[in-house]
């Protein structure tokens, strides 16, 4: 049985073995469910068949693979239940490319299948957004800049991705609820919001009351919302140069609210904060984040320590 543990130590073969727990599958099934390339799946299966870890059975013209014995099934099940099934870098790259191509075509079914692979691998929300959706949308952006796709296709991919994110949040849901509020949005001329939506989803997952204002919000309306809802945190996104001036205006207006007695943290992200850092260095921002992962691991824990949350009891069931 030592061969089984050895094979489980290799990420791609672990993914294949984990998929075979639910029953026999052919190569096409395994390519779809793991995100691995077909030649690699076939090579891994041949290796494990030679080591008598999987068995093959021909049904008509198809060959179906299954775990070779109940003992191997028990070992694989135990190993896969000890922690999440990791997705190797090769599989992530394949998932990213497949998702980008499907999103550009507006193929929501294909995008959902890619997301299902991530769910079955028990990827965390940050990993799904950071390792699959973010690089996929970067591919979309690069193809738009190079002229390979037009604005309609770029918008289509963005809208499909927002729907995939909504579906993800429906499946995952918040882990807890507390009394903290965050407002997120873009200043006038700010239209790129997927990165901001990812942070909004993560905060909702972490239990924050999330008020997402979206793109191109007039400064006066944004300030009015902050005054009305009195959040603990305000997050902005600035991803195009046309929005820099209005974003700086909004930051100044928000900071003025703090001098009037409101207390909240102001954070920002987006491509322009990286490419025009000098424009923001004298602004009263409390922090900037270049990615969801940076926000989740570096900034949010510190903010939550500064203002401890009060848990909110769930409504009693009827």
Domain ranges of the chain: 2-81, 89-172, 181-306
pLDDT at 233: 97
Whether residue 318 has pLDDT greater than 60: no
- Reported as a pLDDT band with limits 50, 70 and 90, residue 119 is confident
User: Sorting pLDDT into bands at 50, 70 and 90, what band is 86?
Assistant: low
State the pTM of this model: 0.71
CATH T-level assignment (fold) for domain 89-172: 1.10.1240
- The pLDDT-based confidence of 79 (bands split at 50, 70, 90) is low
Among left, alpha and beta (phi > 0; psi -120 to 50; other), residue 214 is left
Q: Is residue 19 within 8 Å of residue 26, measured between CB atoms?
A: no
Q: Is the pLDDT of residue 316 over 60?
A: no
| CATH architecture of the domain with residue range 181-306 | 3-Layer(aba) Sandwich (3.40)
pLDDT at 297 over 90: no
pLDDT in tens, 165-178: 999 988 876 666 77
Return all residues near 304 (Cβ < 8 A) that are at least 6 apart.
180
**pLDDT tens digits, one per residue of 223-255:** 999 999 999 999 999 999 999 999 999 999 999
Q: CA-to-CA distance for 259 and 283, rounded, in angstroms?
A: 15
Q: Is the pLDDT of residue 294 over 60?
A: yes
- What token pair was written down for 102? 């499907």
The CATH number of 2-81 is 1.10.10.10
């Amino acid at each position: 049985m030592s061969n089984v543990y050895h094979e489980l130590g290799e990420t791609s073969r672990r993914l294949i073995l984990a998929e075979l727990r639910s029953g026999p599958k052919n190569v096409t099934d395994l390519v779809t469910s793991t995100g691995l390339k077909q030649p690699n799946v076939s090579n891994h299966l041949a290796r494990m068949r030679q080591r008598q870890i999987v068995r093959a059975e021909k049904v008509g013209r198809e060959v179906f693979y299954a775990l070779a014995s109940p003992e191997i099934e028990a070992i694989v099940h135990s190993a896969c239940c000890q922690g999440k099934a990791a997705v190797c870098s090769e599989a992530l790259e394949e998932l990213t490319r497949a998702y980008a191509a499907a999103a550009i075509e507006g193929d929501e079914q294909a995008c959902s299948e890619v997301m299902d692979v991530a769910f079955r691998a028990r990827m965390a929300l940050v990993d799904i957004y950071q390792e699959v959706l973010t690089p996929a949308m970067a591919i979309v952006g690069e193809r738009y800049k190079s002229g390979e796709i037009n604005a309609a296709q770029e918008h289509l991919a963005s809208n499909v991705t927002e729907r995939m994110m909504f579906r993800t949040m429906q499946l995952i849901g918040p882990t807890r609820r507390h009394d903290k509020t965050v407002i997120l949005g873009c200043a006038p001329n700010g239209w790129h919001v997927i990165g901001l939506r990812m942070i909004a989803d993560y905060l909702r997952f972490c239990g924050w009351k999330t008020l997402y204002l979206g793109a191109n919000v007039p400064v006066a309306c944004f300030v009015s919302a902050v005054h009305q809802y009195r959040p603990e945190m305000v997050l902005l996104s600035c991803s195009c140069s046309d929005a820099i001036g209005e974003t700086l205006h909004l930051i100044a207006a928000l900071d003025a609210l703090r001098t009037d007695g409101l207390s909240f943290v102001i954070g920002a992200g987006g491509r322009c904060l990286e490419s025009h850092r000098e424009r923001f260095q004298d602004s009263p921002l409390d922090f900037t984040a270049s990615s969801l992962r940076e926000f989740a691991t570096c900034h949010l824990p510190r903010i939550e320590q500064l203002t401890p949350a009060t848990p909110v009891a769930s409504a009693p069931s009827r």
